[in-house]
C-alpha cells in the first residue's frame, strides 16, 4: 500500500508542489507552522531516518532544501526538521524533512 506522500507524488492526492527532481518532491504542508512550510520527500519509500541505509543518497534532500529555500526567498534563514518516531511527533511513515521559514524560531524547540 502506497504511503500518503507517495500518493501525493503520483498525483492521486492534490498538493501544491513547489519543486521536484529525480529523487525528491517538495510540496506545501497542509497545516503550515510558519509562513513557508514545505515538506521535502524522497521518491523512495523509506519509513524514516531509522531506516535510511548507511550508503543511501541522503544528499538529495539537503540539495532540494537549499534550492527550495533559495527559490522561496528565505534569505534570513530557515529551519530544517526531521521527526523520527512517535515521541518526536512523526505522523507519516515516509521519510520527509520540514523546511520552515518566513518567521523567527526559538530554541530549544518544543
Ligand atoms: P510529521 O509529523 O513530521 O510526520 O509531518 C507530517 C506532516 O505532513 C505534517 O506537518 C502534516 O501537516 C503534513 N501533511 C499531512 N497530510 C498532508 C497532505 N495531504 N498534504 C500536505 N501535507 C500533509
Give me the mean pLDDT over the 69-74 stretch. 98
Q: Are strands 97-101 and 24-28 parallel, antiparallel or unpaired?
A: unpaired
Choose the residue to mutate in 11, 91, 93, 96 for probing ligand 1, maximizing ligand atoms within 8 Å of C-beta.
91
Query: Which atom of ligand 1 lies at the shortest distance from residue 37's CA?
Result: 10
All three cell numbers of 70, joined, read 533559495
Residue whose C-alpha cell reads 509562513 in the numeric block:
35
* Contact 30 CB / ligand 1 (< 6 Å): yes
Question: pLDDT value at position 56?
Answer: 87
Give residue-wise pLDDT tens across range 78-92: 999 999 999 999 999
* Contact 6 CB / ligand 1 (< 6 Å): no
- CA of residue 92 to ligand 1 center, whole Å: 7
Give residue-wise pLDDT tens across range 28-57: 999 999 999 999 999 999 999 999 999 988
Check: pTM over 0.95? Answer yes or no. Answer: yes
Amino acid at each position: 500500500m502506497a504511503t500518503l506522500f507517495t500518493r501525493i507524488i503520483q498525483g492521486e492526492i492534490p498538493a501544491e508542489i513547489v519543486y521536484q527532481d529525480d529523487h525528491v518532491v517538495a510540496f506545501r504542508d497542509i497545516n503550515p507552522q510558519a509562513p513557508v512550510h514545505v515538506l521535502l520527500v524522497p521518491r523512495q519509500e523509506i519509513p524514516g531516518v531509522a531506516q535510511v541505509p548507511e550508503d543511501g543518497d541522503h544528499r538529495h534532500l539537503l540539495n532540494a532544501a537549499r534550492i527550495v529555500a533559495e527559490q522561496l526567498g528565505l534569505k534570513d534563514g530557515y529551519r530544517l526538521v526531521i521527526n523520527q518516531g512517535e515521541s518526536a511527533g512523526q505522523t507519516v511513515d515516509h521519510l520527509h524533512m520540514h523546511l520552515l521559514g518566513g518567521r523567527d524560531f526559538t530554541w530549544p524547540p518544543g
